[in-house]
Amino acid sequence: MIEFHDVTLGYPGSDLLSGVTMKLAPGSFHFLTGPSGAGKTSLIKLCYGELAPNGGRVEIFGEDSVKMSRDETARMRRRIGIVHQDCQFLDHLPLDENVALPLEVAGQKADGEALTELLTWVGLAGQAQALPPSLSGGERQRAALARAVIMSPDMILADEPTGNVDWDMSLKILKLLAELNRMGKTVLMATHDLNLIRAAKGLTSARVLRIQGKRLQLAGSDL
């Protein structure tokens, strides 16, 4: 799915990431952890082409991310569901339209029944007409997850999706991601919450990647 080959990111003389080599295989579940400012968000941005590496090569679905045209990058992102910590909604559109937006930009029609089913899956069926600013942090994260999966992507990239929610909501979001992984989706979830990583044991078979000293390490054994 995604392969990093000796990737370096940063400014000359001050690298954020250095010599990163990794491979996210189809159907895998990886946690990405490390201290704040270690480069978790930057690594995730490399995975969907928002950032370009200074050195090395990032291959997304077999294509070099740097060589993709802007339209190719856009089409590649339709195969990846992205959940940001700040969600990035269009605040003037109701929740159901925000969730269906990836279909709209891809020129597809949203199936009303499937949309309701998706909102029910994330527990937001009753909030379909609510505007994003009126939702709580947990509701926004679950809505972002719904938007990320509406195109039935091959992969989910979640950047600190539990960063602003309480423990119960964190577990709910984790369970949703684990469920997606069981459905065959590749998942990469960035988090600094080690308790959450421990809680994943039993829910899914995951590997933990840790950014330490600008490098990426496989932390401990598989969960």
Partner 1 sequence: MIARLSILAPLFGGRSGADRVVPSTGPTALLTMLTAAAMAFLAIFALALAMATGRLADRWAGSLERSATIRISAPADQIDRQTAKVLEVLEQTPGVEFARATTPDETRKLLEPWLGPDLPVEDLPLPQLVEVTQSEAGFDAEGLHLRLAAEAPGAVLDDHERWRAPLVASAERIRAIGLLSLALITGATAAMITLAAQAALAANGQVIRALRLIGAEDRYIARAFVRRFTLRTLAGALAGTFAGALAIALMPAAEEEAGFLTGLGFQGLQWLWPLAIPALAAILAFVATRMAAFRVLRTVR
Q: What backbone torsions phi and psi does residue 159 show, to the nearest 5 degrees?
A: -100, 105
Nearer Cβ to partner 1, position 190 or 196? 190
What residues contact residue 98 under an 8 Å CB cut-off, 6+ apart? 89, 90, 132, 143, 147
Neighbours of 88 (CB within 10 A): 13
Nearer Cβ to partner 1, position 90 or 114? 90
* CA separation for the pair 62, 3 (Å, rounded): 8
Nearer Cβ to partner 1, position 91 or 113? 91
The residue written with tokens 């700040």 in the block is 86
Shortest spacing between CB 213 and partner 1, in angstroms: 27
Q: What is the DSSP string of 9-43?
A: EEETTEEEEEEEEEEE-TT-EEEEE-STTSSHHHH
Shortest spacing between CB 217 and partner 1, in angstroms: 28
DSSP 125: G
Shortest spacing between CB 48 and partner 1, in angstroms: 8
Nearest to residue 216, comparing CAs of 27, 67, 15, 51?
Answer: 15
Shortest spacing between CB 81 and partner 1, in angstroms: 9
Nearer Cβ to partner 1, position 22 or 51? 51
The residue written with tokens 């989706």 in the block is 185
Q: Which residues make up the interface to partner 1 (CB under 8 A)?
A: 48-52, 70-71, 73-78, 82, 84, 88-93, 97, 101-102, 104-106, 147, 151
Shortest spacing between CB 87 and partner 1, in angstroms: 9
* CA separation for the pair 50, 74 (Å, rounded): 10
Nearest to residue 188, comparing CAs of 30, 41, 3, 27?
Answer: 30
Nearer Cβ to partner 1, position 3 or 50? 50
For residue 169, give both structure tokens: 């909501």
Nearer Cβ to partner 1, position 52 or 218? 52
Nearer Cβ to partner 1, position 139 or 159? 159
Identity at 149, one-letter amino acid code = V
Please state, in angstroms and as integers, the Cα–Cα distance from residue 172 to each residue in 61, 136, 200, following that order.
Answer: 29, 14, 11
Shortest spacing between CB 14 and partner 1, in angstroms: 21
Shortest spacing between CB 184 and partner 1, in angstroms: 20
